[in-house]
């Protein structure tokens, strides 16, 4: 950590999110850590019905437990044919503790018989930066695509193998990390955060 760097705790244990957020925040005057590296991390909950409220809850919980700046991401997949589900319950769509493969399998079962023209979906990400006194900033990113009938690709995590991104002609799981980081919902939200964070840090 340089003398100028500010410690920033990522409010997640998800290794995929940690990797993506670390890549996308590289070069900023922050020293990143995450819940998996803390000796006594707080337990997080996602009790709300919006990504923004859940992200805020997690960021405030971590900031107040650690006394550090905290950055929380709440993100998920919204499928038009399922009325916006799985939405804020994306990580729990197949039950608590479900694996990525189980999440994908559950989604494909729910989408059986849905024609291609009705398989539109989007990934949504909301980021909230918080300190011990409250929320400091909020950023959102979205990316449009559609749900395939079977997985393609081995990279990524979560629903990436069945989320087809038409401009690239492939799923998120077929992309390299660099390719995904150019277009993903999380990349779009983090790009706005990157723009704003140096100014925020100077003001804190």
Active-site amino acid positions: 74
Q: What are phi and psi of 176, to 5 degrees?
A: -75, 160
113-117: long-range contacts, CB 8 A cutoff, minimum separation 24: 114/81, 114/147, 116/146
| b/e burial code for range 6-16 (CB count within 10 A of at least 16 → b) | bebbbbbebeb
Angle at the Cα of 34 from the Cα atoms of 16 and 103, rounded to 5 degrees: 35
Report the DSSP beta bridge partners of residue 79. 121
CA 15 to chain centre: 11
């Amino acid at each position: 950590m340089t003398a100028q760097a500010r410690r920033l705790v990522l409010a997640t244990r998800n290794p995929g999110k940690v990797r993506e957020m670390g890549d996308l925040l590289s070069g900023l005057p922050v020293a990143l850590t995450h819940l998996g590296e803390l000796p006594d991390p707080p337990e997080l909950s996602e009790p709300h019905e919006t990504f923004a409220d859940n992200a805020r809850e997690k960021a405030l919980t971590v900031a107040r437990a650690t006394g550090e700046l905290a950055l929380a991401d709440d993100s998920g997949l919204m499928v038009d044919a399922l009325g916006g589900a799985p939405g804020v319950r994306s990580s729990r769509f197949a039950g608590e503790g479900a694996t990525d493969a189980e999440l994908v399998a559950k989604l494909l079962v729910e989408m059986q018989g849905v024609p291609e023209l009705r398989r539109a979906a989007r990934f949504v990400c909301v980021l909230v930066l918080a300190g011990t006194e409250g929320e400091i900033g909020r950023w959102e990113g979205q990316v449009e695509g559609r749900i395939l009938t079977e997985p393609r690709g081995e990279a990524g995590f979560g629903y990436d193998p069945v989320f087809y991104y038409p401009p690239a002609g492939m799923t998120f799981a077929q992309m390299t990390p660099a390719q995904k980081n150019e277009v993903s919902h999380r990349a779009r939200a983090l790009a706005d955060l990157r723009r704003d964070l140096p100014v925020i840090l100077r003001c804190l």
